[in-house]
Amino acid sequence: MQNHPLKYLHLTPDSPLPELKGMGQFQAILVLDGEVAEMSMWELARGLVDSGCMLALVWGKDCEAWREALEDAALEAADYEDVPAERAVVVTAHDDDELEEVFWYAHHRAAHPALALRETLIVHIADAPRREELEAAYHDA
C-alpha cells in the first residue's frame, strides 16, 4: 500500500485549474461527474501536466477523451519529442471499472515506471463537492 498524502480539488465543469502550489510531481485521480466543454478539458489537461501530474487515472464521463487530452498535453509539453522515462506522463482510463476499484488501484498498485510519486490529488469535476465521501472511499480502498 502506498501512503501518499492525499489532496482534494473540486472544480465545477466550467472552472479553470487553479495554481497547484506546493505540489511536486504527483499522481492524479480524475473523478469526472460533470460534463466539461472540449476546450476547457484541453486547458485543464495542459494545466495538470504543467503542474507536475506524472500519473493520471481517469474515471467517469468521457474518460477516454480525457485520457487522450492528457496524453496529448504531455506530448505538447515535450514538444512532441521522445522523452526519457522520468519525464513520461502515464495516463489510464477506467470507463469499465467502479470508482472503488480505481481508488484501490491508485492506493495499492499504481506506479510511475521511473519516479516515486509522493502525493495523490483527487480532481473532482462536478457541480457539487463530495470531499469527505471521496477521501473516505480512497482511504478505505
CATH at residue 46: 3.40.309
Residue 1 has pLDDT above 60, yes or no: no
Instruction: State whether residue 27 is helix, strand or coil.
Output: strand
Total domain count for the chain?
1
When the pLDDT of each residue in the chain is averaged and rounded to a whole number, the result is 94
Q: Which domain holds residue 100?
A: 6-13+25-140
Q: Percent of the chain having pLDDT more than 70? A: 98
Sheet holding 120-125: strands in order across? 6-11, 120-125, 26-32, 53-60, 90-93
Model confidence, pTM: 0.95
Whether 1 is covered by a domain: the verdict is no
pLDDT score for 2 = 62
* 65, three cell numbers: 477523451
Inter-residue contact 35 to 66 (CB < 8 Å) = no
